[in-house]
Structure 1
Amino acid sequence: MKKTTSNSIKRNLITALSLMMTATMLASCGSGYDGSESRKSGSYNNERTTAENYRYNNVTAGDTDGTANIGGGYNTEEYNHLTENGYKLVSDEPLSTFSTDVDTASYTNVRRMINDGWEVDPDAVRTEEFINYFKYDYEKPAEGAVSINTELSDCPWNSEAKLMLVGLQAREAKVKDVPTNLVFLIDVSGSMEDEDKLPLVQQAFSMLAENLGADDRVSIVTYAGSDSVVLEGESGDNSEEIVSALNSLSAGGSTAGAAGITTAYKLAEEYFIEGGNNRVILATDGDLNVGLSSEEELTDLISQKRDSGVYLSVLGFGSGNYKDNRLEALADNGNGNYAYIDSVDEAKRVLVTEMSGTLFTVAKDAKVQIEFNPENVSAYRLVGYENRLLNDEDFEDDTKDAGDIGSGQQVTVLYEIVPNNGNEKSLKYQDNESKAETNELSGEMLTVSVRYKDPEASESKLIDKSVMCSDYTEAVSQNFAKACSAAEFAMVLRKSDYASGLTAQGVVDYMEQNNVDNSELFELIYKYMQNGTGSEASYW
C-alpha cells in the first residue's frame, strides 16, 4: 500500500498533538491544556487523489490505466473526501452541533471490500456508521421519543484524553397498527445485471413483501433508459403478486434515475395514507447517467420532495461502479436513511429484523448540541459525523433539516475530551456565575441537548442532560467498549492522524481485554489482517 504521509509528517503530527495536550487527572477533571489553537486534520501527501489511489491500488494484473478490472468491468466507485474533525478549543468554540445519523451503509460497504480482498478506500469509511451499525444496551425513554445516555471514561487510543459516549435511544413504536404505503423504486439499467445487484434486490424486496399485511399498499417503479410502473397500489396481503412482479424484472439499458424518482413520489402521493407510513425505497448502485445525474442535481430534486410527507430509504447494491456519494446525498436530503446490502443476510437484517427502524420514523429533524464547560474542559474532538456538522444557530432553527430516527433505533456519539482547571465561563456557565460560585455548576463537564420533532409536528421538542466530572469511571461498560472498538477499527482503516500507532491487532487486543461481545467485528478485523493489509507498516 502506498504511504499516505511521510514519516516526518507523521512525527510532526504526533508532536503537534502531544504539545497540544498536557497530563490529565483521573479522579477529577484534570489539569489544563495550554495550546493556542486547535489541531487541524492532516491531508494525504500524494500526487494522486484518494479515489485515484484506491482505483490504482485495486488494479488487477494487466491493467495499466489506473482503474481496477473487476469481473470484466472497471472500478469507478465514487466517495466524497472526508477530512477528520480536529480538536476545538472550548474558549473559542464552546458549542458542538450536528445532525443525528442512523445510516450504516459505510460499514457494510467496507465489509464487502474486505471480504472481496480489496484495499479499503479511506473515504469510504465514515466512523459514525461503523459505530452505529452495532446495537447497544441503552435505557429506553420514559416519556417522549428519545432518551439520552452518557458514559465518561479514558480514551483507549489517546492516553492523554478522556472519552465521552452519548447514546440516544428512540422509543419503539407499535408499528403493526400503522398502515404502510411503499413504493419500490428499482434500478434495472444494464449496470444492475450482476448477481450482487438486481438478483439481490429481488430477494430483498421479496422478503419485505412477505411481511406486509392487508392494510399496506405496494407499488413498483423501475427505471433504466426511462421509467416504468410495474405494479400500482397492490394490497400487502397479496405477496405472491408482488413477488411475481419483482421476479419478472431484468436489467438492461442506460440509467435515468431522476425520472424514476419523480414517478415514484407521484405514486406515493397518489396512494398516500394519512397517519400512515409513506415511503419510497430506492434500490440502485447509484450509477446514473441520463438526465439529472450529478450529486448536486439529485440533491436539488430530492429536496423538493422532502415536504411531501413521503420518506425515503436508500439501499445500495453492487461493486465496481458504486456511487456512494450520490446515494448518501439522496438519503441525507430526502428525509431518509441509507443502508448498503452486501448479502441476503444483510437484506433480512435491514428489511425484516429491523424493519420498524428502517421504515417507521419516530423523531424527525433530530439534532444534538453539546455545550462544554470551559472551567473543566479545555478542548474536544467529535469522532466522526464530519458531513453532519451544523452551525450552532441551526440547533434552534426548526426550519433546518436534520436526521431522522426510526422506531427503536440508536445514535451513538464519541467525543475525545481534554480536561482543564481553568476559570473561564461562557453561555450557560457564564449566565450562572452566582451558581458557579457555590459550586452548583463548577462540577459540570458539559451539557448534552437534543432537539427533535414528532413525525407530524413542525415544532421541535428539547431534552437535555448534564455530565458531571464525578461521572468519570475507570471501568467501562460493554456499550463503551463496543463503540470504542468500532471507532478504532474505522480509524485504522481511515489511517487516522488522531490514532497514530493504532493497528488492527491493537483493536483485537482491546476487544479481548474488555470482553467485547461482537463476533461480527472480530471476524471482519481478522479477515482484514489475513488480506495482508493489517500490519502497521502498511499504514505509514
Structure 2
Amino acid sequence: MKVNTLRSVWMFIILLGVQTVMAKSITGYVKEASSGAALGGVSVRVKGKSIQTHTDQQGYYQINAALGQVLVFSLERFTAVEHVVGQETRIDVALQIDNMERDRNSIPIRQDVYAGQYSIKRGESLTAYLGGSMHVRPMYRSAGIHSSESYEKIQENKFVRTNVEPLSTFAADVDAASYSNVRRFLRQGHMPHPDAVRVEEMINYFTYDLSGPTNGDPVRVVTEVTHAPWNAQHQLLRLSLKAKDIPSENLPAANFVFLIDVSGSMSSSNKLPLVKSSFKMLVDQLRDEDRVAIVTYAGSAVVALESTSGKEKRKIKDALDALQASGSTAGGAGMTKAYQIARAHFAKAGNNRIIMATDGDFNVGESSDEEMEKLIAKERNDGIYISILGYGMGNYKDSKLEMLANKGHGNYAYIDNISEARKAIVTEFGASLFTVAKDVKIQVEFNPHFVQSYRLVGYEHNLLEAEDFNNDEKLGGDMGVGHVVTALYEIIPQGVKSNFDGSVDDLKYQENTKPKSSVNKKELATVKFRYKEPDGEVSKLVTHVVNPKVTPLAQTSHDLRFATAVAELGMLLRNSDYKQQANFDQLIARAKASRGKDEEGYRAEFIRLAQDAQALHDADR
C-alpha cells in the first residue's frame, strides 16, 4: 500500500514538472485601469526568459508561456504588473498610471502620444491636458492614449509672400510609407494620427504616366498649372521629376545585405512572417551576378547567411525560413554588422545597399536617433545606401525609420500586407533599390508679377535653406530607376485678397520689395534642380521655365486631377488649417473621373479608402 502511495506521489510530481515546462498559448487584453481604454504597445514578457511580445492597437496580445511562469506587463509611465500563469488560457490586465508620473504634472507629454479623441501637442503638460484650458486638437477614433507608436511632428507649410521670400527649396523625396500606414489605420476603423499623414508621400505612392528624359539627363521636369479644387480663386502648380528607365538586365550588379529585426516585438503575424514573405519575393528578382547576405539582430547581431550568389535562391530562402523572433532589440549592433559585410563584398560600379526590415523599436546599444544617424551618414559617403521596410503596429517607430532612410541615401516603405510587399519589392524593384540620381534638390523661384503668395503642399521634413541648393555638402533626396517625384504648390495669384498670407506695414529703414518694371511677364516661375550621378560628388544643374497659362482643372491630365484628390484627402485627414473648401464628395468624384489606366487597382483602392475615411469622419461628427 505504501509503495502504491509513494508511486502516486512521484507520478504527480513528474506530471507537475511536465506541466511546468510545457508552454501553451495565452491571449488577453490590456487596458488602462482608470478609463478602461485599450493600451497598445504594452510589453508582455515571460519573466527570466527572452520570450516577449507587445499588445496591438486594440490592446490584445498572444504569447506562449508554461504553467507556473510569470508574465510581466509593462509600459512607460505605468506600474508594471506580474501575473503567475495558472490553468487559464486568457489573462486580462489593467495597468495603473505610475504614482510618480501622476504627480509629475508639469512634465510635457511626448509628441507621439495621442488620445482617443485628442492629440496632445509638444510642450503641453498632463495637467493642461486633463483639466487646464490649453487647446487640444480633435481626432477621430484614434488608438489609445498610451500607444507607443511615434511620429515626427509636422508643422504645416504656410503661405509665403513672394516679395519677401521668392525661393522655395526642398530635397526630392520618393518615400511612400505614409500612404500604406494611413491605409492601415483606416482599414482598422480609425482615423490616422495627424502626424502620420505626410501628404507628399501619399501623392508619391501612385505611379504617373510620364515619359523619361531623352537628352541624356537622368531626370526630366514636367509642370502643369490649374485652379485649386478646394479654392477656385487659388491656383495649383504641379511639378514632377521623371527618372530615366533602365531595363532590368542592364542594371548594375547588386551587393545586398538583408538586415532583419528578429526581436520579440517582431513575433506577431504582420511582422516577421510578412518580412519572410517579402524578402522571398525580392530573392526571386535576383540575378546570378547579384549577392545577398542576411544579418539578424535581437539581443545581439548574428550573421544568418554569409554573402551568397543570387543563383542560390533556395539556400537564401531556407535561411529566411529559419528565422524566429525572440529577445531584445540591438538595432545598432545589427546595423554595424550589416555595413561590415557590405564593405567586405563591395561591388565597384555596382549597387551596394542594406535592406532593413523592422518595426523601428531599438532598445539595446546604439539606439538613439543621433547615434544611428551618425553611423548611417558615415557609411553613405562610402557608397553604401540603405532602404527601410517598416512593419507592424502598436510600437511602430515611424519617426525613427523615416530619419534613417533620409540620412542613408535610401527610401522608406511601410509594408502592411503581402500586396504592399509585392508593390514595393517586385513592381517597383528598380525604382526602390537602384539609384540613378542622388542628392536631388529642387528650387523654385516664383515671379511676383503673377504670384502673390505660395505654399508647398507637404515636404515639411524635406525643406532646405535657399543657400543649401548650391551647397553640394547638403544632403538631397534620391531617385531610382523610372521613379517619379511629384510636388504641388498652391498659389495665391497677384491681387487676390486672402486671409492666409496676411499683410505687414511698409518698412521704415529700407525700401519695400516690389517687382521690377522690366520683370518677365511670360514666366510664372523658374524651376531648378540639382543632382549628382550615383558615384559623383559634384552636382549638375537643370533649369525649366513654367508658362503662366492656367488650364481648367477638367482639361488637365488624369494624373494631375488624381494627385489633387490625394492631396485633398491628406488635408482632410490632417484636419489641415489650409483645407479651405475641401470635402470628401468632390475629391472622391474627381478620383473616380481621373482613375485612368489602373492595372494594379491602386487608384480604385484609394477611392474605397476615401469613402471609408468619409464614413468615419461623418460618424464622429
Do Structure 1 and Structure 2 share a fold, with TM-score over 0.5? yes
2:280 is the counterpart of 1:195: no
C-alpha distance after superposition, 1:167-187 (max 9, x if no partner): 110001234232111000000
Q: Which of the pair has more CA radius of gyration?
A: 2
1:347 has 2:421 as partner: yes
* Aligned equivalent of 2:23: none
Provide the residue aligned with 1:100 in structure 2. Answer: 172
Letter paired with 1:165: R
SS in 2 for 1:254: coil
| 1:53 and 2:114 aligned | yes
TM-aligned CA deviation for residue 425 of structure 1: 11
Paired residue type of 1:52: V
CA RMSD of aligned residues (A): 2.7
> Normalized per residue, which structure has more helix?
1
1:77 is aligned to 149
Cα contact 1:94–1:426 (8 A) shared by 2: no
Is 1:389 paired with 2:468? Answer: no
| Cα separation, partners in 2 of 1:298 and 1:409, compared to 1, 3 Å | same
**Are 1:480 and 2:560 counterparts?**
yes
Contact 1:377 1:418 in 2 (8 A): yes
1:74–1:321 CA contact under 8 A, matched in 2: no
Aligned to 1:154, which of 220, 223, 227? 227
In structure 1, the partner of 2:89 is: none
2:398 partner letter: D
| Corresponding letter in the other structure for 2:198 | R
Mapping 1:284-433, distance limit 5 Å? 284-420=358-494
Quote the Cα distance in structure 1 between the aligned partners of 2:532 and 2:174. 16
Could you say which residue in structure 2 is the equivalent of 1:446?
525
CA distance in 1: counterparts of 2:552 and 2:326, whole angstroms: 58
* Correspondence 1:89 to 2:186: no
CA distance in 1, matches of 2:159, 2:404: 30
Residue in structure 2 matched with residue 270 of structure 1 by the alignment: 344
Q: Which residue of 2 aligns with 1:490?
A: 570
Q: Distance in 1 between matches of 2:389 and 2:535?
A: 25
Whether the aligned pair in 1 keeps the contact of 2:244 and 2:481 (CA below 8 Å) is yes
Provide the rounded CA distance (Å) in 1 between the counterparts of 2:113 and 2:471.
Answer: 39
1:421: how far off? 6.3
1:465 aligned to which of 544, 555, 562: 544
Q: In the superposition, relative to structure 1, how do residues 515 and 285 fare at CA in structure 2: closer, same or farther (>3 Å)?
A: closer
Aligned residue runs from structure 1 range 140-289, under 5 A: 140-143=212-215, 144-177=217-250, 178-289=252-363
Is 2:373–2:407's contact at 8 Å kept on the other side of the alignment?
yes
Contact kept? 2:595, 2:604, Cα under 8 Å: no
Q: Which runs of 5+ in 2 are unaligned?
A: 1-107, 120-129, 131-141, 497-510, 598-602
Q: Say which SS state the counterpart of residue 401 (structure 2) adopts.
A: helix
- The code of the aligned residue for 1:499 comes to K
Match of 2:582, SS? coil
Partner of 1:455: 534
Asked if 1:533 is matched to 2:617, the reply is yes
Q: Note the C-alpha offset of 1:258.
A: 0.5
Aligned-partner SS, 1:84: coil
Looking at structure 1, the residues matched to 198 and 207 of structure 2 have their Cα atoms a distance apart, in angstroms, of: 17
Question: Normalising by structure 1, what TM-score?
Answer: 0.83
Name the structure, 1 or 2, with higher relative contact order (CA <8 Å, separation 6+). Answer: 1
Deviations 1:302-326 (A, max 9, x none): 1121201011100000001000000
Contact 2:113–2:145 (CA<8 Å) still a contact in 1? no
Residues 194 and 415 of structure 1: CA distance in aligned 2, closer, same or farther (over 3 Å) = same
Query: How many Å apart are 1:471 and its aligned residue?
Result: 5.2
Contact 1:185–1:260 (CA<8 Å) still a contact in 2?
yes
Post-superposition offset of 1:457: 1.0
Return the offset for 1:507: 1.9
Deviations 1:71-129 (A, max 9, x none): 99973100011011000000110000000010000000111111112231000000000
Shift of 1:515: 5.8
**How big is the shift at 1:300?**
2.0
Q: Deviations over 1:306-349 (max 9, x none)?
A: 20101110000000100000000000001110000011111111
Distance 2:618 2:171 in 1: 32
CA gap 1:467/1:211 in 2 versus in 1, 3 angstroms = same
Distance 1:215 1:510 in 2: 46
Of the three residues 109, 112, 125, the one matched with 2:197 is 125
- The reply on whether 1:111 has 2:183 as its aligned counterpart is yes
Given that residues 204 and 344 in structure 1 are in contact (C-alpha distance below 8 angstroms), is that contact kept between their aligned partners in structure 2? Answer: yes
TM-score, normalized by length of structure 2? 0.72
Query: Equivalent residue of 2:549, what SS?
Result: helix
My pick for the range that moved more, 465-474 or 294-303, is 465-474
Shift of 1:216: 0.8
Q: Which runs of 5+ in 1 are unaligned?
A: 1-46, 59-65
